[in-house]
Structure 1
Amino acid sequence: MKAMQYTGYGDPSKIREADVPIPKPAPDQLLVKVAASSVNPIDWKLRNGSLRFLVPVRFPSIPGMDLAGEVVEIGTKVTRYRPGDRVMASLTSRRFGTAAEFAVVDERLAAPVPKMMNDHEAAALPLAGQTALQALRDLGRVKEGDTVLIVGASGGVGHYAVQIAKVFGAKVFAVCSGVNAPWVRELGADEIIDYTQTSEFGSPASFDVIFDTVVSEPFGRYQGLLKPDGIYVSTLPTLGLMARSVLLRLLSKQRIKTIMFKSNGEDLAFLSKLAEERRLRSVIDSVFPLSQLDLAHRRSQSGHARGKIVIDHGGSAAPT
């Protein structure tokens, strides 16, 4: 089968096309013909070596964690899916490999694709959507009436976070550029903060939860905006944040937490149901063919993607 591979640590030129055997599903796995996948920041961080001490890569290696496609074969212990089913999933960082014609997926990580969702929208959802869900629900404990600040609201994780926070009944303040403000507001944001026009993100002690998907400034930038028992959730486990988290527990009721994404089919099925109910949608920044995965990585690394970057594997299914 055709696949893209990392050939070593470095820039996107380290991504090359290769012919490799079609994988065989284990007893608890699905073999999926991949219609679309997506690019997430972790993909190029694995490629450039910045995560090599946490998640070392063995070369050559097929990149990619998200996929949407059709089940073509099932393992002997699989009970919930049959050949012909459309599924989406996010693999783990230690078993990635969706930038290929076929991929194997643990049954427990998969969820059905809603009939009204096309393959591009489905492939965009798993990692970013589950990250937003777990950050807000499990770490931030967002509930009805909370006030939530989302930094990076127009990004892959951020645009899902806006919608999920609204599902939970929160009032959402979204930080993004003015050019992205109209569609972020359409996603449900109550207030837009244009970071290109102001450095003031709110009044002191305004927010129950701050979800920082950008992590380009120190926690001190946001601490005063949190309520006395507020929670700051980060997508990046920096040493500074970890040290500050320990100190904060001794001095305050405020908390610093870092989302460590865990793929699971139950969370993805929850998001799938929201999509089916038209309460959650994927915003697609751009679509690249599989052969141009290197260009998709460059787009992601630019930091200017609006929503998700999707990889089309050919023959993506339209919604029915």
Structure 2
Amino acid sequence: MKAIECTRYGGPEVLRLTQVEKPLPKDNEVLIKMRATAVTASDCIVRGFKLPRRSPRGILMGLVLGFKKPRNPVLGMIVSGTVEEVGKQVTRFQTGDAVYGWTVKDDFTIRFGTYAEYKCLTENSTIVKKPEMLGFEGAAAIPYGALMALLYLRKGKIQQRKKVLVYGASGAIGTAAVQLSKYFGTEVTGVCSTNNLELVKSLGADAVLDYTKDDPSTAGNDFDFMLDAVGTWKDSDFKQQCRKASTVNGTYVSVDEGSPNATIADLELLNKMVEEGKLRPVIDRTYKLEEMVEAHRYVDAGHKKGNVIIAIA
């Protein structure tokens, strides 16, 4: 089968289209014929080993993934496709089911391998049946951003919040966070660039701040929760001003604080929201599997809107 391999750490050019052996499902696994996947910021961090190797997180990353090169050269954690074969112990799915999800287990153990035409996963992985209204590419745009947003919003006790600020509201996590915050009944202000203001408004944001020209102090100082959907590694004076625009007891949560874990129930909640029209996928660009290098280059540039999807024939 076709797959994209990363045999060493580095820039997008280290990715190579190759042929690998098609996997066979174990008794408790399903074999998924992949129809789409996504290039996430996490994929690019892994591909480039973009953490200081002597830092605690860098050492942990090396221990888990490999210090000199990835132990599993086929990256990718987003699944969207059709069940082609099921193991004899499988009861949740049957042949022909359209499914989607991610390969991260509920203990945040990551099984890569979705940059390929087929992927095997245990039936208790974080995957669910895809709604008919959602295409395979749209489904691939849900798990990473929405699951991450849900988990970090919960960390900030979103159901107790009234006024939320989402910094980085136009990325994969940010676009989902805006929609989820509205779902939980909060007033949402999104922070993004000029080019993305209309997108964030269309997702339900009550107000938007343009970080290239606005003054956060004009938004007041009554945000009781700020979600930093960019991460503390990308700091700015504007972000620090946003943090000050909060209540004395306001909560700040960054997406690079700790390792979230998601369950099947979490993905089922998102699935329900999609069916109800409360959550919609945001896709910036779609590439073919053979165009993976270009897709990684685009994500590396740091200006994508929502998700970058890989269509797999």
Give the TM-score taking structure 1 as reference length: 0.86
Partner Cα separation in structure 1 for residue 194 and residue 251 of structure 2: 26
Shift of the alpha carbon at 1:197? 1.1
Partner Cα separation in structure 1 for residue 38 and residue 286 of structure 2: 9
What is the number of equivalent residue pairs in this alignment? 292
> Does the CA contact (< 8 Å) of 1:30 and 1:71 recur in 2?
yes
Counterparts of 1:281-296 in structure 2, within 5 Å, are 281-296=280-295
> Is 1:64 the equivalent of 2:80?
no
Structure 1 SS opposite 2:182: helix
Partner Cα separation in structure 2 for residue 202 and residue 167 of structure 1: 25
| 1:269–1:228 CA distance, 2 compared to 1 (3 A) | same
Query: Which residue does 1:9 correspond to in 2?
Result: 9
Shift of the alpha carbon at 1:225? 2.2
Query: Which residue does 1:248 correspond to in 2?
Result: none
Partner Cα separation in structure 1 for residue 311 and residue 165 of structure 2: 33
Shift of the alpha carbon at 1:49? 1.3
Q: Paired residue for 1:54, among 50, 60, 74?
A: 60
Shift of the alpha carbon at 1:145? 5.9
> Does the CA contact (< 8 Å) of 1:131 and 1:157 recur in 2?
yes
Query: Which residue does 1:39 correspond to in 2?
Result: 39
| 1:34–1:48 CA distance, 2 compared to 1 (3 A) | same
Range with greater deviation from structure 2 (139-148 or 208-217): 139-148
Query: Which residue does 2:55 correspond to in 1?
Result: none
| 1:261–1:293 CA distance, 2 compared to 1 (3 A) | farther
| 1:225–1:106 CA distance, 2 compared to 1 (3 A) | farther
Structure 2 SS opposite 1:129: helix
Query: Which residue does 1:230 correspond to in 2?
Result: 250
Letter matched to residue 232 of structure 1: Y
Partner Cα separation in structure 1 for residue 240 and residue 303 of structure 2: 25
Structure 2 SS opposite 1:134: helix
Structure 2 SS opposite 1:143: helix
Shift of the alpha carbon at 1:150? 0.2
Shift of the alpha carbon at 1:94? 3.4
Partner Cα separation in structure 2 for residue 113 and residue 213 of structure 1: 26
| 1:199–1:302 CA distance, 2 compared to 1 (3 A) | farther
Deviation digits for residues 179-209 of structure 1 (CA, Å, limit 9, x no counterpart): 2111211110000101111242555642111
Shift of the alpha carbon at 1:99? 0.5
Partner Cα separation in structure 2 for residue 25 and residue 274 of structure 1: 31
| 1:202–1:130 CA distance, 2 compared to 1 (3 A) | farther
Letter matched to residue 312 of structure 2: H
Q: Paired residue for 1:77, among 89, 97, 111?
A: 89
CA RMSD of aligned residues (A): 1.8
Shift of the alpha carbon at 1:229? 2.2
Gaps of at least 5 residues in structure 1 are 237-257, 315-320
Give the TM-score taking structure 2 as reference length: 0.88
Partner Cα separation in structure 2 for residue 228 and residue 25 of structure 1: 53
Query: Which residue does 2:308 correspond to in 1?
Result: 309
> Is 1:217 the equivalent of 2:235?
yes
Partner Cα separation in structure 1 for residue 146 and residue 261 of structure 2: 11
Query: Which residue does 2:139 correspond to in 1?
Result: 122
> Does the CA contact (< 8 Å) of 1:5 and 1:16 recur in 2?
yes
Gaps of at least 5 residues in structure 2 are 52-57
Counterparts of 1:1-320 in structure 2, within 5 Å, are 1-51=1-51, 53-55=59-61, 56-57=65-66, 58-59=70-71, 61-92=73-104, 94-108=110-124, 109-136=126-153, 138-143=154-159, 146-200=162-216, 203=219, 205-215=221-231, 216-217=234-235, 220-236=240-256, 258=257, 260-314=259-313
Deviation digits for residues 153-204 of structure 1 (CA, Å, limit 9, x no counterpart): 1111100100000000000000011221112111100001011112425556
| 1:42–1:201 CA distance, 2 compared to 1 (3 A) | farther
